[in-house]
Amino acid sequence: MRALIVIDMQVDFCPGGALAVAGGDEIVGAINDLMPDFDAVVLTQDWHPADHASFADNHPRAEAFSTVQMPYGPQVLWPRHCVIGSAGAVFHPALATDVADLVIRKGFRPGIDSYSAFFDNDHATPTGLAGYLRDRGLDDLTFVGLAHDFCVAWSAIDAARLGFAATVIEDATRAIDLNGSRAAARDDMRAAGVSLA
């Protein structure tokens, strides 16, 4: 059974948002059109408390888009985005959210980020998504959404490592592309056994 996993199609990741991905809004129609082809649709929602450790402005003297060492490894510091309950955290208004069976929120623990839909950035704290998918027999996963080189890539790589079939439809993603992160994410996905369609 096949699930479409729509990653972080939120206002803050679209043009005009706090962490805008170039062309992020262009993919909404394609994503909506894909939904009826799947047995299940899951949406993820980046969902950070105001004191979240991934926000540059919570680190004195740190600049946005710099990298710091956290107890769980390197972490890019981002502009404040997707704050719980804020207008930027809602889904893009044109996204067909009614079709979704599940919305999985991630990044809600103040001290740790969560790019992947499956684990926090320690690669150990689960979101519960793997159990949900396995319970429903959803073993073939297709990833779309934002951003290609962060949350989409980390999710697809974790899916492959967990034993799911994992495909990314690249036309239905857009990348942040920070210091070559798009090319690196493509290499990492291929190496993990993710199909790039």
Chain residues binding ligand VGL by CB under 6 A are: 8, 13, 46, 78, 115, 146-147, 150-151
Q: Which does 146 bind (CB under 5 to 8 A by kind): Zn ion, ligand VGL, none?
A: ligand VGL
Task: Quote the CA–CA distance of 110 and 119 in Å, as a whole number.
Answer: 15
Bridge partners of 91, per DSSP, are 10
Kindly state the number of chain residues that form the binding site for Zn ion, as judged by CB under 5 A. 1
To Zn ion, the closest distance from the beta carbon of 48 in angstroms equals: 6
Among residues 46, 82, 151, 158, the one annotated as catalytic is: 151
Nearer to ligand VGL, 102 or 139 (CB): 102
- In a 13 Å sphere around the CA of 47, the CA atoms on its Cβ side amount to 16
Chain residue whose CB lies nearest Zn ion? 46
Nearer to Zn ion, 46 or 120 (CB): 46
Residues near Zn ion (CB under 5 A) are: 46
